Every structure is written in structure tokens, then in C-alpha cells.
Chain A
Amino acid sequence: AQSVAQPEDQVNVAEGNPLTVKCTYSVSGNPYLFWYVQYPNRGLQFLLKYITGDNLVKGSYGFEAEFNKSQTSFHLKKPSALVSDSALYFCAVRSNQAGTALIFGKGTTLSVSS
């Protein structure tokens, strides 16, 4: 069975500091990994994905994530946080089998203070 763990309910960082939002996963077969961001009462916006290839993936708004197969992790990072990055972040995984849905982690609220 597929599962995703986001161990932190909330991450607090000061503007300008680097941020990390953690994610670990479990899936049979090769994983497809995603990060999405959600603002209040809105749908989800895609940030980045890992399918294959380079373990370091760069995405929207300066975010990046590193796929670590041995640690089954896909942590989201940004070198310098902005107040506008404050939102709810979801890590998601699905197997490489066609037609499978994404399974989401519980979400991590990122709060960036000025």
C-alpha cells in the first residue's frame, strides 16, 4: 500500500532563512513524487515532481526537492523563504502503474515571519 508521512504539522521560519518541509514515502515499485501548495479555501497548486533522472528537482517559486531512495524521502526546500510562501504544503506519491491516484500526506503548514 502507498503512504506518505509528513512528520511536522507546522514549520516556522524567518523571512530570508532557508526552509525545509519533510516528507517520507512508502510505495511498491518506482515512486512518482509530488509537492503541492494550498492557500486557504483554494485548490492545490503544483510545485514540482520527481519521476526519474536527477535526484534534485527544481520547481515553481524557487522551491526544490531532493529524492533520496535509500531514505525514502523527498524533502521540500527553499534557500530563502518569503512571507508569501506561508501556506499549507502537501507531499504526494503514486506508483508508476497507470491510472493510479495520488496519495497525500497530512500536510505541513509553513509560516514565514517577517
Chain B
Amino acid sequence: GAVVSQHPSWVICKSGTSVKIECRSLDFQATTMFWYRQFPKQSLMLMATSNEGSKATYEQGVEKDKFLINHASLTLSTLTVTSAHPEDSSFYICSARDPPATGELFFGEGSRLTVL
């Protein structure tokens, strides 16, 4: 199946700093990517839909100024957690759909963010 690569897989940062997480589709082009957040022992919560060349669509309750999403190319979307705080600590997972539209989502390995 298609491969989605996420980097970094683990990051620790100080409170107040910004952290960028990259999501790449390695062997296909993804016009749309999705960013999810997962709390311990809980399900995946959709944060936003990232569209290549346009602004991301954020789910209700997700702060767009805190979670900046950029989808500058058909193979790369980035999530930047700005001015991170301990409550932002979580497991962030990106996904992309290999065409056609009926295809399943392929997921990155996830990025665990710990804010001290």
C-alpha cells in the first residue's frame, strides 16, 4: 500500500516554543491530507483537513492560530504547534488518501509531542 511518512516521531520541547511536524506521501500525490490528535487510550480526533494550495479547514474547537497547517505541495503537509504548552502534549497523526476517492486513508507513524 501507499506510504505516509511523518517526522519527527518523538519530540520534547519547552513551553512557549514552536514545533513543526512534517507529513509526506512518499509514493503518491495527495491533494488532501488530514491531521488527527490522539490522547492516551482514546480515539483519534480530527483536527483539520489540509488542502494543497489553499487554507486548511479546521474542525470546531481547534485553534487555527495555534495549530498552523501548510500544504505547499502534493506530497507535503506540515503542522506547526505554536507557543506550545503542556496541554498540547499528545500524539499527532497525519493521513492521506491514495486516489481514487474511495481509497482508504494511509497513516503516518505518528508524532509524540511532549511539552515540558
Contacts and interface: CB of A to CB of B under 8 A. Distances in A.
Interface residues of B, number: 24
Interface of A: 32, 34, 36, 41-46, 49, 51, 90, 96, 98-99, 101-107
Contacts of B104: 34, 46, 49
B34 A102 contact: yes
B42 A41 contact: no
Contact of A43 (B32, B43, B93, B102): B93
23 contacts: A32-B102, A34-B104, A41-B91, A41-B112, A43-B93, A43-B107, A44-B93, A45-B107, A46-B104, A46-B107, A51-B102, A90-B43, A90-B44, A98-B101, A99-B101, A101-B49, A102-B34, A102-B105, A103-B46, A104-B43, A104-B44, A105-B43, A107-B42
Q: Report whether over half of chain A's contact residues are helix, strand or loop; otherwise say mixed.
A: loop
Given A44-B107, A46-B107, A102-B105, 7 more contacts: A34-B105, A36-B107, A41-B110, A41-B112, A43-B107, A99-B101, A101-B46
B41 to A, nearest CB: 8
Interface in B82-116: 91, 93, 95, 101-102, 104-110, 112
Contacts of B6: 43
